[in-house]
Structure 1
Amino acid sequence: MKHLFTLITLLLPATLLAESVPSFRQDVMPVFFRAGCNAGTCHGAAKGKDGFMLSLFGYDPAGDYQRIVNDLAGRRVNPALPERSLLLLKAIGKVPHTGGELFTTDSPHYRVLHDWIAAGAPDDVANVPDTTGIELTEESLLFEGKVTRAQVRVFARLSDGSKRDVTHLARYHSNNPAVAAIDDDGRVSAAAAGDTHVFARYSRFAIAASVTVLKPDPFVWPNPVAHNYIDRHVFDRLQKLRIAPSGLCDDETFLRRVTLDLAARPPTPAEYEAFMADTSKDKRSIKIDELLADDAFADLWTALWAEQLRVVGSNYAPDTMVIKAAATYYEWIRRQMREGRPLNEFVAEMVTASGSNLANGPVNLYTMLVHNVRVEPKQLAADFSQVFLGVQLQCAECHNHPFDRWNMNDYYSFVAFFNGIERKPGAEARERRIFWDLAKPPVRHLVDDRPMRPKTLGSDQPLADTGDPRPALAAWLTAPENELFSRNLANRIWAQLMGRGIVHPVDDVRVTNPPVNEPLLADLATHLVASKFSLRDLVRDICNSRTYQLSTTPNDTNRRDIRQFSRAYLRRLRADVFIDSVVAVTGMPRSFSSFPEGTRAIDYYPRTSGDAVGPMFGDAPFQCLGRSPRGSVSSGETKTAPTISQALHLSVGDTVQPRLACNGLLQAYVKDKRSPTRAIEDIFVRCLSRKPTSEELAGFLKIIPDPPANTQPYEDLVWALLNSTEFMFNH
């Protein structure tokens, strides 16, 4: 049958073949894409569907041609009677088809397939121009008043320099159809006020257009004063959306917010009194600088990096994660943070590290990032990309990335950077030495088994074969011009302080998950690079912005906003920060297994004498309060949603209950016969960094005798405040 197809093709006039016959790659494959035939829910699934398999979204056209034309010869395609081809009969619903009717006989998609089959179902006889990208006629759409519809067209850029209108072959979707929808022909329709993105996909590419639907109500911009470049970008976006930002938070709220964010604890009563008594106009900036200079800021970011890099100590398995190696790595990270090491240098040293896991801290990137007894290049490449670029490259292992620009060539070329990393025993039983094995066989492509040389993401040419490629990887990764790296860092730092990323989640950067404020993210990254990748400088910019200092109290225009930063968002305290805050308020430390007395929760990382391959929370309260188990590098490992188990633990567990006496402080109140009014105010300041309202004070004075016979009334008050949402959240 294959020879029959070839004979039919040869007998066709050359002009017909050149001008009239649809191209398999340029015309036929796009029909399968548009109709959804090669989607993951249909024949593009790993094992196909109903006995027929296509490559997902057409990443393997040669294999698809073989399966369509030569498998079940004469049934799927029938050049003698094209209309009797199973390919067409199923598509128009004339025979049973799980996917139902996809198009009709008068559609252009039917005509393309029919004409191609009638021509002998030929493969492309020469190299046809490849699609190198796509573009939209509109990058942004604004709907206002009676304008509720718009048409976008999609053009494919081809390798020969030409362009082709593929609007009828692209697929479309909206991130939020409740705001704006887009139909199968690229027509966008407004539904409700708000902002979203609509997307077009063709071949292996996706592209977005922003959509803004304005409210019909009259709007007066309040013209708030911008403190810096951050506010200018946020306020420009809010003004376009007709959303007024909330007002500034008061001094009490600011002091608590910034101290929790930068020092991982609430302010002390002495800090509270000093700040509230300060009448200088720049006292907020001064406080920010004071907190940034404290070691507590560096220690908090040590904890954040150690969590992201999955630092765990185990003296059983894997044998590379021994407690001494974990301690060496953790202390190395702490030194970098305390010394203010530029973040690009901090990362580059880890990427290029070799040697002993016990003596050389940064080399443990290759022992901790993937918890396994041996180096797994694919998993290591995927986790590396997710941490340092925010890109989930693993989606391109078995097929081109369905929602981003990365393809299988990108994936296997990136894996090649890690393929030669090996471990060998050192001088003592616990030691492992990391080195690059020049004799390691190359990574091979899944589809055609060709060897893949290291190539950085987005580049055209692989590296020359000159040995260990990691120095080249580090140079590319941390270069000022690598926006993937600088934007990822800027976005993660922003999210830590603001409660959500400009790209959210922070480790899901892709074309189909664009930033909610592109100019803001771009400028944050620019300032980070300009500061020579200074963590403190960027945090200073963010904390000094009016945006950071906004109140959580909504107004009529921003009540429903959850992503444009028009107000401060409530953020539940991380597990470690919460535990340290309870200790700071009560003055009563707690101990952690395998760590010395006095260790803070933010300095604690899981240590075990057993197996560390699975999730590791460490002490039980961390699991209850949602700390990351370090089971993966995903940002979703840290849980911020309140739960019933948390409420029960805080009510009767060992985090709050044993510390209600506040290390003798409440006893001193009783002994000194301090007035209940003053005692209540002191407890409020200590727990919530504010004085009680008149209503709160009056209510507590009704139930606290003057003088109290013992500390019980004050312990009840401390218990109530530590269990309040106001204490558990940063606001």
Structure 2
Amino acid sequence: MRIGFYYIIVSFFAATNLIAAELNIYAVSKPNEEAKLIGPDAYLQLVVTGGNVSDMTRSVSYEADPSSIVNVSETGHVTPLADGSVKVIAKTAEGLSATIELTVEQFGTPQPINFPNEIVPLFTKHGCNGGGCHGKSEGQNGFKLSLLGFEPTEDFEYLVKEGRGRRLFPAAPQHSLLLRKGSGDLPHGGGARFEHDSWDYKAIVRWMEQGMPYGSPDDPKLESISVYPSSRIVEPGAEQQLAVSAFYTDGSVRDVTGIVSYESNQKEMGEVDQSGLVTMLRDQTGDMAVMIRYQEHVSVFQATIPLGVPTENFPVAKNFIDEKVFTKLKTLGLPSSEICDDTTFLRRTAIDIAGRLPSLQEVEDFSSNDHPEKRSQWIDSLLSTTDYAEYFSNKWAAILRNKRKGATYTRGTQAFHEWLMGSLHANKPYNQLITELVTARGEIGHNPASAWFRNVTDQKERLQDTAQVLLGVRLQCAECHHHPYEKWSQQDYYGFSAFFSRVGKKKTDVPGEEAVFHNVGLATAKNPKSGEDVKPKPLGGEELNIKPEDDPRLDLAAWMTSESNPFFAKMLVNRYWKHFFNRAIVEPEDDMRVTNPPTNPDLLDSLAGHFVKSGYDLKDLIRTICNSTTYQLSAIPNDHNAGDRQNYSRYFPKRLTAEVLLDSIDGITGSSTAFSGQLPGTRAVSLPDDSYNSSSYFLTVFGRPEMDSACECERAQGASLAQTLHLLNSKNIQDKLAGAGGSADKLSSQGERTNEEKVVELYKRAFSRGPKDDEMKTAIDYINKKTQQAKEAEGKINEANKMAYEDLVWALLNTKEFLFNH
């Protein structure tokens, strides 16, 4: 095995007399060992950092002393020329310098190549084994590779033992089909993937010249990888060279910077090339990450790109949320917006907490209230209402898939929804609520939580939904192969699946309903790849020995809800943060993997810690978020934060959900929507399941989820032409506007009130504020115009007045201010 192909990383700081105080060189090594290049094909990538923590790898000049031992390129790439020791000096134009000592050994002895460690990663690096190429299940043009190289033994079979003469030609490697197509010498659907003089091309040639070995059973196996630097503040337009270390079972540390795969998760903010050079794009600020993949392991480099604007005048911080957010904004040099006014706050919180607009009385009471804590008091009052419980049970019913699949499901979906609503209204601790859910037994009539096991029908769906909804882990990929962006293997997948392997269901006396019970027996799940029966295994933990008479779901619930669980609390606070800010700290909110890092790790950790310390108190979490200055910032951008979506420097407007919008339209028009099987006056946010979508075109066109998925992304929040047309001229909306007893009908018949008073009322109902002067003038002028036209035509003045108010209400409900929470 070739053991010289690696970087040695050693830090050289001011304590080392070889390095200037403002300059240091970083390379890869075992601790306290000198950097070595072993064999003629080894190389080393230097990373040079300036005193202001900026990358200078490509801005310094290099000198080797003596010059006969190594060659150093302008990019800091070191290759051996002969055995011996050498000093490499990096110099700036200003005269600063730093030195690192290297040793070259066995220059005359080519090192053995290991197929999984050194050849398979090249296929991943160049995209050959991706899902759109030879890595897809059926392969491509007769040539198949395992997806992302997760099955190297299969790749060896595909490459070496199938059609050997066609793909590989050991006697003359350069004439092999593999290299001729890969280099572009022959037509190739994927185009040229590497140059003839590249290290990658030459490595495949050397491997064939060595007889195409797979490697020895004694060769060390990969344990982990890491990247240097792991994070850094990088100016817009600047560069950062990365160095990646691989740690093996024999204790060796090797450079894999040149053969790993890199992928930017924010390509609009930063790019990365195959050498590990990250380039920040100009005019962008915030965080971007680069995922590094080597074999089945991943690591992440995270860059913070500052704006650099002075940030002396932040609003007063009210709690730890503000401290964490404002600290990040100061690091970025990104000023926040001002605090929103009372009317904006009132409407925002009513929608976000209770799923409704404030009533006219609430608007007037809040406006006249001069108590210094009136905002906190208002938040508390919303949390005490059934409106809050109805709204959030609507949210949970969707992601827990409370779907009515037929008439026999009606009782169950209603009972499950009521269980959710009662739990939230009573502020049942979240850990208790989830324990009741995943361990539910019995009939729906006695234990409504058991309906989840009917809605989520099989073992596969239960494990995947549990992981995604409750832990923020998307395990679906690991069912068939190692997760491409995570550490989870098929063994992890089936170990987690085993927790649900003893769930039994039996029919009850109620048609269409089943009782959930623990089917006594040994809990295991079969890994179809290995044929092994896998015991229950928490994610990231060890297999559990659970007695056949014990329900493994109890162990699962205990592990999930333990204070030390790394996923449970973070997932919940991340989900709730997105609810209020329209962007999660980890986005998407249920994809919390190491390769998708949080934009503000300290904030996420603090929120999760606070949530656990509170006893998993959901109302306290909402109260803490909504009382923060961060939540109460204005949606109006300043000169610098209009494009900020990551750092919460302002409130980001979001369209009202389908249910809230329908209820709000009913409110301003003075109408109500009838739902089959529900009591008159039932709000849309109170509907228990998906079945009402089919009878309400409004709910469908505005994106109410069908509850087929555990992902909140099933709810469509975008705008469409169909939505616009429906609001503008649908019969549904016109009937609400013109209905007897509706707002327009009542206002037009109230002769004792002035038109100005009526306009104020409409504005307060719609926007929680009175009209501005120009808005009042426009409204009054229009009403007077319609009345005057009726007089001149000797028409019905009352009818004209009513139509004027219909038009006014129609105009208000079609404004962005009404349709969005801001």
TM-score, with length taken from structure 2: 0.80
Q: Could you tell me which residue of structure 2 aligns to residue 650 of structure 1? A: 727
C-alpha offsets along residues 17-40 of structure 1, whole Å, 9 cap, x if unaligned?
Answer: x98321122222222222322222
Which residue identity lines up with residue 702 of structure 2 in the other structure?
L
C-alpha offsets along residues 496-546 of structure 1, whole Å, 9 cap, x if unaligned?
Answer: 111221122212222332222221111111111111111100100110011
2:765 to 672, 675, 686: 686
1:263 equivalenced with 2:350 (yes/no): no
**Please, which runs of 5 or more residues in structure 1 have no aligned partner?**
1-14, 609-614
- Give 1:701 deviation, angstroms: 1.7
- Give 1:246 deviation, angstroms: 0.7
1:148 equivalenced with 2:238 (yes/no): yes
Alpha-carbon distance in 2 for matches of 1:281, 1:433: 53
C-alpha offsets along residues 453-474 of structure 1, whole Å, 9 cap, x if unaligned?
Answer: 2211112435446453211111
Change (3 A) 1:594 1:654: farther
The answer to whether the Cα contact below 8 Å between 1:424 and 1:433 also exists between their aligned partners in 2 is yes
Superposition pairs for residues 298-337 of structure 1, below 5 Å?
Answer: 298-315=389-406, 322-337=409-424
Superposition pairs for residues 573-652 of structure 1, below 5 Å?
Answer: 573-606=656-689, 617=694, 619-652=696-729
1:169 equivalenced with 2:259 (yes/no): yes
Alpha-carbon distance in 2 for matches of 1:485, 1:618: 37
Q: Could you tell me which residue of structure 2 aligns to residue 6 of structure 1? A: none
The answer to whether the Cα contact below 8 Å between 2:321 and 2:603 also exists between their aligned partners in 1 is yes
Q: Could you tell me which residue of structure 1 aligns to residue 78 of structure 2? A: none
- Give 1:81 deviation, angstroms: 4.4
Change (3 A) 1:91 1:462: farther
1:704 equivalenced with 2:783 (yes/no): yes
RMSD after superposition: 2.6
Which residue identity lines up with residue 356 of structure 1 in the other structure?
E
- Give 1:253 deviation, angstroms: 0.8
Moved more, 434-443 or 687-696: 434-443
Alpha-carbon distance in 2 for matches of 1:586, 1:566: 35
1:720 to 811, 815, 818: 811
1:663 to 741, 755, 761: 741
Q: Could you tell me which residue of structure 2 aligns to residue 341 of structure 1? A: 428
Alpha-carbon distance in 1 for matches of 2:735, 2:184: 71
SS at match of 2:499: coil
C-alpha offsets along residues 625-661 of structure 1, whole Å, 9 cap, x if unaligned?
Answer: 2111112122211111122222222233365433336
Which residue identity lines up with residue 567 of structure 2 in the other structure?
L
The answer to whether the Cα contact below 8 Å between 2:538 and 2:559 also exists between their aligned partners in 1 is yes
Q: Could you tell me which residue of structure 2 aligns to residue 289 of structure 1? A: 380
Which residue identity lines up with residue 693 of structure 1 in the other structure?
K
2:498 to 413, 416, 433: 416
1:223 equivalenced with 2:314 (yes/no): yes
SS at match of 1:395: helix
The answer to whether the Cα contact below 8 Å between 1:477 and 1:485 also exists between their aligned partners in 2 is yes
- Give 1:298 deviation, angstroms: 1.3
Superposition pairs for residues 86-165 of structure 1, below 5 Å?
Answer: 86-144=177-235, 148-165=238-255
Change (3 A) 1:655 1:537: farther
Q: Could you tell me which residue of structure 2 aligns to residue 4 of structure 1? A: none
1:67 to 158, 176, 179: 158
Alpha-carbon distance in 1 for matches of 2:564, 2:606: 13
The answer to whether the Cα contact below 8 Å between 1:221 and 1:242 also exists between their aligned partners in 2 is no
SS at match of 1:416: helix
1:675 equivalenced with 2:770 (yes/no): no
Which residue identity lines up with residue 52 of structure 1 in the other structure?
F
Identity of aligned residues (%): 36
Q: Could you tell me which residue of structure 2 aligns to residue 452 of structure 1? A: 534
Which residue identity lines up with residue 678 of structure 1 in the other structure?
E
C-alpha offsets along residues 241-294 of structure 1, whole Å, 9 cap, x if unaligned?
Answer: 221111111111111111111221111111111111111211111111111111
The answer to whether the Cα contact below 8 Å between 1:586 and 1:663 also exists between their aligned partners in 2 is no
1:250 to 341, 358, 364: 341
Q: Could you tell me which residue of structure 2 aligns to residue 505 of structure 1? A: 588
Change (3 A) 1:616 1:439: farther
Q: Could you tell me which residue of structure 2 aligns to residue 392 of structure 1? A: 474
Which residue identity lines up with residue 620 of structure 1 in the other structure?
Y
Alpha-carbon distance in 1 for matches of 2:406, 2:481: 39
Which residue identity lines up with residue 299 of structure 2 in the other structure?
I
1:489 equivalenced with 2:572 (yes/no): yes
Alpha-carbon distance in 2 for matches of 1:357, 1:671: 51
Q: Could you tell me which residue of structure 1 aligns to residue 328 of structure 2? A: 237
1:213 to 261, 284, 305: 305
Which residue identity lines up with residue 338 of structure 1 in the other structure?
H
Rg (Cα) greater in structure: 2
Moved more, 118-127 or 64-73: 118-127
Moved more, 90-99 or 411-420: 90-99
Q: How many residues align?
A: 699
Alpha-carbon distance in 2 for matches of 1:346, 1:664: 41
Alpha-carbon distance in 1 for matches of 2:782, 2:164: 88
The answer to whether the Cα contact below 8 Å between 2:244 and 2:257 also exists between their aligned partners in 1 is yes
Which residue identity lines up with residue 550 of structure 1 in the other structure?
L
Q: Could you tell me which residue of structure 2 aligns to residue 361 of structure 1? A: 448
Which residue identity lines up with residue 227 of structure 1 in the other structure?
K
Alpha-carbon distance in 2 for matches of 1:538, 1:680: 38
The answer to whether the Cα contact below 8 Å between 1:592 and 1:599 also exists between their aligned partners in 2 is yes
TM-score, with length taken from structure 1: 0.90
Alpha-carbon distance in 1 for matches of 2:184, 2:724: 56
The answer to whether the Cα contact below 8 Å between 2:398 and 2:689 also exists between their aligned partners in 1 is no
Which residue identity lines up with residue 422 of structure 1 in the other structure?
G
Q: Of the two structures, which has the highest relative contact order with CA contacts closer than 8 Å and spacing of 6 or more?
A: 1
The answer to whether the Cα contact below 8 Å between 1:323 and 1:607 also exists between their aligned partners in 2 is no
Q: Could you tell me which residue of structure 1 aligns to residue 31 of structure 2? A: none
The answer to whether the Cα contact below 8 Å between 1:194 and 1:214 also exists between their aligned partners in 2 is yes
Alpha-carbon distance in 2 for matches of 1:463, 1:83: 54
- Give 1:138 deviation, angstroms: 0.8
The answer to whether the Cα contact below 8 Å between 1:378 and 1:415 also exists between their aligned partners in 2 is yes
SS at match of 1:141: strand
Alpha-carbon distance in 2 for matches of 1:223, 1:598: 44
Alpha-carbon distance in 1 for matches of 2:144, 2:546: 37
SS at match of 1:198: strand
Moved more, 544-553 or 354-363: 354-363
C-alpha offsets along residues 202-222 of structure 1, whole Å, 9 cap, x if unaligned?
Answer: 112222222233346x53432
- Give 1:315 deviation, angstroms: 3.6
Which residue identity lines up with residue 135 of structure 1 in the other structure?
S
- Give 1:441 deviation, angstroms: 9.3
Alpha-carbon distance in 2 for matches of 1:702, 1:588: 26
Alpha-carbon distance in 2 for matches of 1:478, 1:712: 58
SS at match of 1:701: helix
1:377 equivalenced with 2:459 (yes/no): yes
Moved more, 488-497 or 407-416: 407-416
Q: Could you tell me which residue of structure 1 aligns to residue 15 of structure 2? A: none
Alpha-carbon distance in 2 for matches of 1:69, 1:340: 62
